[in-house]
Structure 1
C-alpha cells in the first residue's frame, strides 16, 4: 500500500529533526578528558568551603600518580587542607599551590580529591591551573585560560563564584573591620564638633551675662 503524499511530506521534517538531534548529541559528547572543579553554591568570602577536583583519565597505558594545582590570587597554600584523596595520596604544599601524590591509580581511573579552603577571595571567577602526571611519565596540562573567542583545548578548571552574603562581608577580616572603625570614628568626630562648638558658645554667653550682672 503506497503512502499518501501528505503523510510522506509530514514525515520528512520529523526524520530531519531526529537526524539533527543525533548529530547534536554526537558533537556534545566530549572527545577528550578534562579537569574540573566545583562546589555547592560557592560565594565570595565563604569560609571553610570544600572544593572537589576531578581529573578524568585519558591514558590507555598508565594511571594517575600526581596532580598539581596552582592556586588563584587570594588563596595561599597555607589556606588549603586536604579533605579527601585516593588511598595513600598525600598533599604537599608548593610555592604557588599544592600537589597531591601517591601510588599510581589503575589505568582508566579518574583522580578525585577534595580540599578545604579557609576562605574564598572576593572574586567572581577563580582559575585553578592543573597539571596531571601519569605513572609512565605522560603529562597533561590543563592551564589555558578562558577567552572571549573559541574555548581552548586544555581549559584550566574554573570556579564561578557568587557575590558575598551580607554576613560574610561584615566579617571579612581585621582590615575591613579597622576600615569600618576608622569610618565610624570620623563620623562620630563630625557629629561631636558642632556639639562642642555649641557648648563653647553657651559658656561664653553665660560668662558675659555673669559679668554684666
Structure 2
C-alpha cells in the first residue's frame, strides 16, 4: 500500500470516528430526559367530568421501595374533588391542604408505584402540572416538582398532563352541592341556648312571684308574733297591777 493510500484510509477512519462521536452527542442532547414520574388520563379534555388520572412513579433505589407519594393538585382541582380509584395493596389516600398523599406498606425495591384517582371535573386549562414527592422506605426523598422555563428544561420535571380544548357547551360544575330550598326554609329545631333564652323571662317572673309570696308571708307572721307578744305583755302587766292593789 502506498503512503498516500495509507494516509487516505487512516484519515477516513478518523473522520468516521469524529462524525460518530458528534452524532452520538447530538442525539444525547436532543433526546428528552427520562421521566421518573408521569401522569395520564382516560379523557384528557378541559372541563371533562369523572376523569381517571393514573400516576406512575419509576423506582430508582435498588435497596428500598416506595412507601408514600405526595401529590400537589393544580389550581382548579380541590382535594375534596378526588377519590382513590386504584393503588398498591394496603395503600390509603389522605387529603392535605394542597393535594393528597397515598401511602401504605413499602413496596419491594425496584417496583414502580402506580395509583389512580377519580377527578370530579378537570379545570379549563391547556395543561396541568402535578408536583410529586416520592418517599422510600429508607427515608430517601425524590422531588419531581420542577416546571419548564423558557431557557432550560428541568432536571426533575413534575408530571404534566396536556388537555384538549373543552367540548362545546361544557361548563364548570358547582364546587359543592348547595342546600335544597326545603332544607333552607325548614324551621330550625330550637337549640339549647335558644330554649334557655326563651324560657328565662317566664322563669324570672315565676321566681319573682315566689319571692314576693315568701316575703309577704314572713312579714305578716312577724307582725302577728309581735302583736301576740305585746298583747301577752299587756295582759301580764295588768294582772300584776291588779294583784298589787288587792294586797
TM-score w.r.t. structure 2 length?
0.59
TM superposition outliers: structure 1 runs of 4+ over 2 Å? 10-30, 172-175
Unaligned 5+ runs, structure 1: 4-9, 176-213
Q: Give the superposed CA RMSD.
A: 3.0
Mapped contact 1:65–1:102 kept (Cα < 8 A):
yes
- 1:83 CA drift (Å): 1.0
Q: 1:167 to 1:66 in 2, by over 3 A?
A: same
Q: What's 2:86 paired with?
A: 84
Q: Using the alignment, how far apart are the partners of 1:161 and 1:24 within structure 2?
A: 31
Q: Using the alignment, how far apart are the partners of 1:144 and 1:75 within structure 2?
A: 19
How many residues in Structure 1 have an aligned counterpart in Structure 2?
172
Counterpart mapping for 1:55-204 below 5 A = 55-169=57-171, 172-173=172-173
Q: Using the alignment, how far apart are the partners of 1:42 and 1:29 within structure 2?
A: 22
Bigger radius of gyration, 1 or 2?
2
- 1:16 CA drift (Å): 7.6
Q: 1:174 to 1:144 in 2, by over 3 A?
A: closer
Secondary structure of 2:170 counterpart: helix
Higher normalized contact order (CA 8 Å, seq sep 6+, divided by chain length): 1
Q: What's 1:194 paired with?
A: none
Unaligned 5+ runs, structure 2: 6-11, 176-247
- 1:36 CA drift (Å): 1.2
Q: 1:174 to 1:57 in 2, by over 3 A?
A: closer
